[in-house]
Amino acid sequence: MFCNQCEETAKGTGCTIKGVCGKECDTAAFQDVLLYLCKGISIRNIAAMENREGNTEAGSFIPEALFSTLTNVNFDNERFREFIRQAIRIRNSIPPLKGKEPDACTWTPISDTDITKKEKEIVTDAMIQDDIRSLRSLLVFGLKGVGAYYHHAAVLGFTDESIVAFLQKGLASTLQDLPADQMTTLVLECGGIGIKTLALLDKANTSTYGNPEITPVKTTVGRRPAILITGHDLKDLEQLLDQSEDSGVDIYTHGEMLPTHAYPAFKKYPHLVANYGGSWWHQKEEFESFNGPVLVTTNCIVPPKDSYKNRVYTTGLAGYPGMTHIPSSTGGKKDFSSLITHAKTCPPPTAPDPADRDLITGCAHEAVLSIAGTVIEAVKNGDIKHFIVMAGCDGRQRSREYYTEFAKALPMNTVILTAGCAKYRYNHLDLGTIGGLPRVIDAGQCNDCYSLVVIAKALADAFGVGINELPISYNIAWYEQKAVLVLLALLHIGVKSITLGPELPAFISPGVLNVLVENFGIGKNSSVAEDIPRMVPGA
């Protein structure tokens, strides 16, 4: 085992015995081999598409396979065995290349032992830290982010052949001996595809559920039995709300599902009552005290305690051994009746101690642009001096308290733009308002980072300046591969001087880091006392 794809990787270099996330060695082997086979599919299918013989199933399978290998999505070996069988079936249905093919195009495991043996070959190569392998890792982890975001859009019926074509192009490139300049070009191209994918997902969400509205969300609990839904999938929430309506069961959101309260389509459900808890890594305490069943729709699963494991259900690409999985039937329909029945046997949630204040969400691009005049006037008259983008992921490490302290220390004329679960480090703070605007503008899930790009571009147009001339600084927290893709997307549109933390990616070699520093000014966060004056002029 060797895994260095997340921010919390062991010793800052790579997990080699067991994942910090809880991933076992055998699960890591299945994931690595699945990715390897997807590369083989891509090599063959690119050639087939040139001859108009491409396998369309590959285009839907690869995003799902990539998503399943993200940190904290799927820990279930049997599900990965099925993915591997499916990958081999799809690959073998595509005409082989003329001449010698890469091993990934032909290798077929007979047993788990074959998979373990192949993984050792894969990780032995991955542990060599040179610039080419670093660029390959950066590209692959960006592709995983594309796969995740694309899957969310595809579930709602929004697809784009150019995106899945690039996924295959990117995967295939990692089996080719491309020089560093070509790999760098592909990495930046991945950022452009990331922008396209995030825009597609934004269109999918808003076309289906309406444009989010600035909304206060309660964090108190009621007296009825309840279900907690976590993850990112909006269609799962819609089906759960439809099936639980008039059942006497309330629905609470958790983690990245908080922003769903802002969608008009979900406001019609009175039993969608509140948000419970914070970001993903608090699950062991929050799932315990919630008392009712929990539905995990995507990432991020934390290995559960036995005391509540029987109350956790997974669906979609999420999986964990011993948890009940709710599959999709034809047309994506899911049956949540067992979950609802289970909820009726459970006591109501235990109130948080102390109960938090209401949280404000729904500040996506349409909502913010509808009051753009107010924002622009506040900037012109000096009420707003600076914006700080503090988007990204939360994580377990104590070093992430930095983001709470950073938010507290910002001058009162500074506005925070956020998306993702990093906001749970400060969205409970009473940071006040500026001219009636909340000082924390929460665009939504990490899936909604596109809104921050739209808002930044709109401000640049309004003031007639380039995006790097705006009074905006970037203090980004990352954890997993979707955040890697968002970083590449920012680089693609030319954003410079991004501060990244709490640790820089372990898969970035010194040579690649030097390029990022020289060309884009990327740097690591240090201390609040040092970073505030650097990011907020005049503070």
What the block records as the tokens of 68 is 């399943």
Q: Pairing between strand 215-217 and 359-361?
A: antiparallel
Residue 134 CB: number of other CB atoms within 10 A? Answer: 23
Ramachandran sector of residue 321 (left: φ over 0; alpha: ψ -120 to 50; beta: rest): beta
What the block records as the tokens of 523 is 């740097």
The pTM of the whole model exceeds 0.85? yes
Euclidean distance between CA atoms 468 and 322, whole angstroms: 49
Taking only the tens of pLDDT, the chain with its 539 residues reads: 999 999 999 999 999 999 999 999 999 999 999 999 999 999 999 999 998 888 999 999 999 999 999 999 999 999 999 999 999 999 999 999 988 999 999 999 999 999 999 999 999 887 877 999 999 999 999 999 999 999 999 999 999 999 999 999 999 999 999 999 999 999 999 999 999 999 999 999 999 999 999 999 999 999 999 999 999 999 999 999 999 999 999 999 999 999 999 999 999 999 999 999 999 999 999 999 999 999 999 988 999 999 999 999 999 999 999 999 999 987 889 999 999 999 999 999 999 866 668 999 999 999 999 998 999 999 999 999 999 999 999 999 999 999 999 999 999 999 999 999 999 999 999 999 998 889 999 999 999 999 999 999 999 999 999 999 999 999 999 999 999 999 999 999 999 999 999 999 999 999 999 999 999 999 999 999 999 999 999 87
Euclidean distance between CA atoms 250 and 240, whole angstroms: 11
- At 431 the three-state DSSP class reads coil
User: What are the C-alpha distances in Å from 319 to residues 327, 330, 438?
Assistant: 11, 20, 37
User: What are the C-alpha distances in Å from 458 to residues 309, 434, 444, 481?
Assistant: 46, 20, 18, 27
Buried residues in 469-498 as b, exposed as e (16+ CB within 10 A): ebbbbbbbbbbbbbbbbbbbbbbbeebeeb
- List of residues 6+ apart from 317 with CB closer than 8 A: 64, 67, 68, 73, 74, 151, 298
Euclidean distance between CA atoms 48 and 193, whole angstroms: 22
- List of residues 6+ apart from 83 with CB closer than 8 A: 30, 34, 65, 68
Contact 449, 198 (CB under 8 A): yes
